[in-house]
Structure 1
Amino acid sequence: MLHRVELGEGPPVVLLHGLFGSAQNWGSIQKRLAAHHRVLALDLPSHGASAHDKAMDYPRMAAAVAGAMAGPMAVLGHSMGGKVAMMLALGRPELVTRLVVADIAPVTYPPTLRGYVEAMRAVPMHPGLTRREADAALAGAVPEAGVRAFLLHNLRLGEGAPSWRLGLEEIAAAMPLLEGFPEVAARYDGPVLVLAGERSNYIRPAYHARIRALFPRVEFAIVPGTGHWVHAENPAGFLALVEPFLAAG
């Protein structure tokens, strides 16, 4: 069972976070959408407060999301959550009224994030560990302070030995699958909005043909002034594109 945060009333929307994230990442976006929608933000397997799962492939995660849905919903996913959302739409199209994919494509990406996993696994989990110490331990592999802060949201500190909230071992084992995307003999014929960050290279023009083959009704748009974290870097610009798309349904 996936942990959830639910707000609002109206046409339902499910939000799916990216790798190393949680439902909390949607904070202000969920509150804004909840003015007109029932918004369900989920912790994906091995993330947040959801149970750790040794089998973190996209079909299995999509099945877990389907099990958390009470019927057809609009689905919005960022990064890894966007791949889960695409897999759900392709495998269970009757559950997805419309689809928003934020800065990810159904392609295989290079293993650039494996270093983050190894750096997190290498943090010395001794009693009394401070957030400052953990930040310093990550700095060599993760030079961006904002990314380190994002990763450290998963660190539990307090009495006794600290621990990571997410399933680092499960994620480490699953990285080759998470970097890729399954070959599927299906397509989703519902409305799709694919959002790219203006400064991001996650959705390249070369990927558009692959996206259109799976999602023939796709529309592409760019969130101004953003890198990969489109909803966090420009919430207003992100919502200016997402809200009309959801309202059209």
Structure 2
Amino acid sequence: MIDLRNHGRSPHSEQHDYDAMVADVLELVDDLQIPTPAIMGHSMGGKVAMNYALKYPTRITKLIVVDIAPKAYPPHHDEIIDALQSVDLSTVTSRGEVDAQLAKGIKEDEVRLFLMKNLYRKDDNTFGWRMNLDAIEKNYEKVAAEITSEVPFKKHTLFIKGGRSRYIKPEDVYGSIEHLFTLVQVETIPDAGHWVHAEAPNEVYDLVTTFLNAE
């Protein structure tokens, strides 16, 4: 599992766009000596995966995109970024206190738990975020940008949509998705929202393994 730049334990950088993140993935694939991996990504990671497939179609076998379309999105993570930025990590002494502060702006328990996987203790026993929140916020428009390509990706592609999510609409499937990915199937998990893998991990696992095992 890949932590993209400015996420997890990966290096922080002021540059945070799809060209840079695709280059990071390709470098990792080369370092691991995996000539043609299957690649899956959710949300921003899904756009990285789409960009990788369109740019390097011979360096991938199958593509899986979770609850994101190739289109441009208006600002829609402001409440999550604001909630993360509002936590005063210099004063909290437990994960429970962080969760309580996040709950003021993020009501869904599973989303907060997912975001708090970024929380860690520093050497001085204070808390910190592993993600480079400032760089992500600064480059948000680049992350929300539309994906375009003159040549479509012609290998098997799976899009997984949360049934309660509005990120992929029917017109996206019949429009940009089928235009850019010619061998695509779209599956919906009815009771999941945007954070599909956190809300319905078993269903996502079943869809992914079935897709990867198919000829």
TM-score by length of 1: 0.77
Distance between the aligned counterparts of 1:222 and 1:128, measured in 2?
Answer: 39
1:62 correspondence with 2:27: no
Runs of 4+ in 1 over 6 A off after TM superposition: none
Distance between the aligned counterparts of 2:198 and 2:116, measured in 1?
Answer: 17
Question: How much has 1:108 moved relative to structure 2?
Answer: 1.7
The residue correspondences of 1:109-148 to structure 2 (distance < 5 A) are 109-126=73-90, 129-148=93-112
Query: Structure 2 vs 1, CA of residues 137 and 179 (structure 1 numbering), >3 Å: closer, same or farther?
Result: same
Question: How much has 1:205 moved relative to structure 2?
Answer: 0.3
Aligned equivalent of 1:237:
203
The residue correspondences of 1:7-22 to structure 2 (distance < 5 A) are none
Distance between the aligned counterparts of 2:12 and 2:155, measured in 1?
Answer: 32
**Which residues of structure 2 form unaligned runs of 5+?**
none
Aligned equivalent of 1:36:
none
Aligned equivalent of 1:4:
none
Aligned equivalent of 1:212:
178
Aligned equivalent of 1:198:
163
Distance between the aligned counterparts of 1:122 and 1:233, measured in 2?
Answer: 25
Task: Between the two structures, name the one with larger relative contact order (CA 8 Å, sep ≥ 6).
Answer: 2
Distance between the aligned counterparts of 2:23 and 2:155, measured in 1?
Answer: 19
1:82 correspondence with 2:46: yes
1:176 correspondence with 2:141: yes
Distance between the aligned counterparts of 2:81 and 2:197, measured in 1?
Answer: 23
Distance between the aligned counterparts of 2:120 and 2:91, measured in 1?
Answer: 11
Query: Structure 2 vs 1, CA of residues 222 and 160 (structure 1 numbering), >3 Å: closer, same or farther?
Result: closer
Contact in 1 for aligned 2:92/2:98 (Cα 8 Å): no
Deviates more, 1:205-214 or 1:216-225: 216-225
Question: How much has 1:52 moved relative to structure 2?
Answer: 0.9
DSSP 3-state at the match of 1:212? helix
Question: How much has 1:93 moved relative to structure 2?
Answer: 0.7
Question: How much has 1:156 moved relative to structure 2?
Answer: 1.9
Question: How much has 1:60 moved relative to structure 2?
Answer: 1.3
DSSP 3-state at the match of 2:139? helix
Query: Structure 2 vs 1, CA of residues 112 and 218 (structure 1 numbering), >3 Å: closer, same or farther?
Result: same
Question: How much has 1:137 moved relative to structure 2?
Answer: 2.3
Question: How much has 1:219 moved relative to structure 2?
Answer: 1.2
Distance between the aligned counterparts of 1:146 and 1:57, measured in 2?
Answer: 27
Distance between the aligned counterparts of 2:170 and 2:164, measured in 1?
Answer: 13
Question: How much has 1:150 moved relative to structure 2?
Answer: 2.0
* Alignment size in residue pairs: 209
**Which residues of structure 1 form unaligned runs of 5+?**
1-40
Q: Deviation string for 1:175-231 (max 9, x for gaps)?
A: 111122343323211111111112222111010111111111111111243222223
Contact in 2 for aligned 1:128/1:160 (Cα 8 Å): no
Distance between the aligned counterparts of 1:190 and 1:130, measured in 2?
Answer: 47
The residue correspondences of 1:140-159 to structure 2 (distance < 5 A) are 140-157=104-121, 159=124
Question: How much has 1:119 moved relative to structure 2?
Answer: 2.4
